[in-house]
Amino acid sequence: SDLQKQEERGELLQPLIFVLLVLCSVLLYFKVSLMDPGFVKSEEETEVYHFMNGRKCEEQSMVIPQVPSNIKLRRCGYCMVKQPMRARHCQLCQHCVRRYDHHCPWIENCVGEKNHPLFIAYLSVQLVVLLWGGHAAWSGLYFEQSWDRLRHNIFLLVSFLLIVIFTTVVFLLLISHLYLISCNTTTWEFMSHHRISYLQHSELENPFDQGVIRNLWRFFC
């Protein structure tokens, strides 16, 4: 492939960048998998947290609209904590998660308030790695060769086909998440809009939407 030829010629910059991107992807994977996605803490812990982070809570209150008077914040029937708005209990994690997006089986963790930006970073790096890997695999395939010669590269051909499948999945997942972020909504809210009380009784279709630019700024910055 092109990377092999560059390595043989002593041109190690691109192969080194590729290896660093793969390493970065792996580190992001473990970071997103192992970190707290935003588990709702007990009321005692939350009170201390609010006291120690008063300024942060004031900023968050500016972002999250007030709960309509006809909506009562309920206590979770599973972990018995008072659920803040946009939180949901995950049966697999056995916790309520703030700004719950979805439970990702690939990382075996929820995607929520704390790890959602890193999840987007992971998908972006992974997409770059897959595209680069697909190009490297394609550069090593020569279809004008005989079938007997091509059979010796069957591993490369299978790798390329797998890369194409994974690239399509990651690309669609990244695009869908960026769209939802630009609207300031989550996968759970988008899929279950008709079942969520604070969305059902809201005068606006999406009470959290503050415009694309501000939504992206609030999420990433």
- Written as one letter, the residue type at 31 is K
Contacts of 210 (CB under 8 A, 6+ apart): 63, 184, 218
Q: Provide the annotated active-site residues.
A: 104
Neighbours of 122 (CB within 10 A): 25
**What torsion do the CA atoms of 155, 158, 163, 165 make, to the nearest 10 degrees?**
-170
Structure tokens at 22: 């793969």
CB 153 within 8 A of CB 138: no
CB 197 within 8 A of CB 87: no
Contacts of 194 (CB under 8 A, 6+ apart): 200
